[in-house]
Amino acid sequence: MTKPLVIVESPTKVRTIKKYIGKDYNVAATVGHIKDLPVRDIGIDIEHDFTPRYQTIAGKQKVISELKRAAGDAADIYLAPDPDREGEAIAWHTAEVLQKKGREFHRVLFHELTGGAIREAMAHPQPLNAHKYDAQQARRILDRLVGYQVSPLLWRKVKGGLSAGRVQSVAVRIICERERAIQAFEPEEYWSITAELSPAGGPDARTDAPATFAAKLIKKGDTRVKIPDEAAARAILGELEGAAYTVAKVVQKTIRRNPLPPFITSKLQQEAIQKLRFSAKKTMIIAQQLYEGIDIGDGAPEGLITYMRTDSTRISEEAANEALSLIRQHFGPEYAIPRPRVFVNKNKAQDAHEAIRPTVVTNTPDKLARYLNDDQLSLYRLIWQRFIASQMAQAEIDQNTVTIAAGDYFFGASGSTIRFPGFMALYLSFEESGAREQEQQKTMLPPLRNGQALHLHTLVPRQHFTQPPPRFSEASLVKELEENGIGRPSTYATILSTIREKGYVEMTKGYFHPTELGFIVNDLLVANFSDIFGVHFTARLEDNLDRIEAAQVDSLAVLKEFYAQFSQELERAGENMRSMRGIGIPVGLPCPACGKGELHIKVGKNGAYLACDRYPACRFTCNYQRDEKGRVQPIQPAAETVSDKLCEKCGRPMLVKEGRFGPFLACSGYPECQHTASLNGSGGGIPTGVACPVPGCGGMLMERRSKRGKVFYGCSRYPDCDYAIWDKPVPIPCPRCGHPFLVEKHTKKDGVFLACPNPGCGYRQDLDKNPAD
């Protein structure tokens, strides 16, 4: 009989698992999901309790055949995909394709890929978790219901190729609302007054305290001082003229700070973004590598961290005690606490997982440096330090606060020194580091006592202005999503990538801002689906998914409740959503051509533009931009140039016009004749030999340059087809998903390699390898 088969999700894990149990078991990988909903239709039978229709993913039949061959006549199959909802779905679908009379399936959860953890999990298998699978399936159905019914609405009302997502659209809404708040912000002037002081009689020669220190004006009597303008500041300076400065009150206390808990997924992403300048996506890719295993000298990979998708701050008592032992040895007994520090979880849905921690505490970053690349080492060090610091003693900080009287006014000053660094000797979070820098920038205070006379050196008035709310960085957007219960930490990286890939937002100097398309689509969705794409509604739905997993609510009840409201809004939107192809959005500006009509924003295949609402009586159109307040500013069109070519359809002269990817030819008989052509013949540029992937197009991809000189690859039938990509296409079909071509990628870390441009595939191929390898 065939040996029992262990099935994992990733091929990388196979070697790690075989290292510890390979003699007694066969080990194989599903290479991700093997089944999913169909690509070309919704795949949900709404009328029959939202029954999903799964099918084998393109390119996965070979994987399934290999799994069946590896299973042979084995009586026991151990399903060990990742220990989360997606892994549970893979386990269920794998069990379905390998179902056989007399065969038993066991669910194995590898929370870390070390010898002890693997053998322990194999010794205590569990049944498949129906509730966790229901939660994953409910999320998949909800996403499909929204995406496959709202997206076609956008195609009709705005333009083809757009998409809406149950969670991604809420993320875009958050970014748009922040941008509108920035645009609406009006700065307000205010002033501050700072006194430079020193103890009367000079500094104490027995201390290293500064000769002078700064104190800020805070109150007049019991009322906090507000200084709106220079006149008010000058008036106060006049009242302070000749005042005597004395110490009114000295408060000395010791602040004790606890360390932060070990990382959960969202906190790891935020910290890696801020400290390491990694993207959320890059962080998760590297964390996956550390979890799945890296060869550290034993000849086979070993998992270096626990599972990296978790909402739990819980850690095992064994790991905590190992950390305390290391702390006593490397830092001294005064840095260790008597017993492990326990952190309370806010959300119990994922409490089966531990926090993200090193699997072996004694694997210090310095010890592993020779085996890890720079990015892996940086992330591992972050995880290791955060975990060890979580079990270290409190930091003790001496803080002095002084109140200084000057007539009716009071000034304040504060300073601090570290009495005992505790956990701060090893690790400070990005936010803690910023707070510490601010503390260190505070003036160190000389020894002062109540009633002590002070000498005034100068009073400094300064003008300030209030600042608008900041745009979101990747880190602050992840924090915003987390705090509002939008999505789950395991999905944040995908959300952030998707909203950029769809063209709804862009990043400038590390901060998100909406594109014009993003504003338009968001405004239409909010106007027609205010609840469905609302923060509170989405958060409640995420909570319901957690409750499904915890067996507290039935998944069908959640789906029915959602669809009852969604279907009504969908029907109303189909009738009432404003058409950006037809009516458009009025901007309150008169048409400069006819003077009678009003300009409306419309969307065509080349993007958004302004047009007169009296069309076809007035055919005025132009591009536009927005000022810092979001107001529309028309860009007067340049004079159209008549080319030397005639329209092949009606014989009229062709005009040179400016489009999304540069100049093109358009018939002067528009709108009666809407023929367009490339300015340089058949598409212009250099042929790549790769066909355009848009169904029914028939064009070829050509190498071209944008208006800024950057190389891109666009369809030869532009502007009839505006398909374009930045990466060079290579005429090799993807062996995993069947996409008609691969693209050439360049990174500092990996050099040049080929990858599938299909976002859901993930296939990559080194240039020195055969695609079938």
Catalytic residues: 307
User: Prior bond to 671 cis, omega within 30?
Assistant: yes
**481 phi and psi angles, rounded to 5 deg:** -65, -45
Q: Among all chains, which residue has been given the structure tokens 């290292």?
A: 19
Q: Which token pair is 643?
A: 């080319």
DSSP track, 176-226: HHHHHHHHH----EEEEEEEEEEETT---TTS---S-EEEEEEEETTEE--
User: Prior bond to 187 cis, omega within 30?
Assistant: no
CA distances (Å), origin 496, targets 167, 473, 487, 571? 11, 10, 11, 29
Strand order in the sheet with 104-107: 26-29, 5-8, 76-79, 104-107
DSSP track, 593-627: TTSSSEEEEEEETTEEEEEETTTTT---EEEEEE-
Is the separation of the CB atoms in 308 and 268 below 8 Å? yes
Specify the DSSP element, H or E, that contains 396. strand 395-406
Strands (DSSP E) along 407-510, which ranges? 409-420, 453-465, 505-508
User: What is the DSSP pairing of strand 5-8 with strand 26-29?
Assistant: parallel
- Rounded CA separation 290/292 (Å): 6
Contacts of 766 (CB under 8 A, 6+ apart): 753, 754
User: What is the DSSP pairing of strand 409-420 with strand 223-224?
Assistant: unpaired
* Helix, strand, coil % over all residues of the chain, rounded to 5: 35, 25, 40
DSSP helix/strand/coil, 107: strand
CA distances (Å), origin 120, targets 79, 117, 124, 289, 632? 15, 5, 6, 22, 64
Q: Is 238 exposed, middle or buried (0-12, 13-18, 19+ CB in 10 A)?
A: exposed
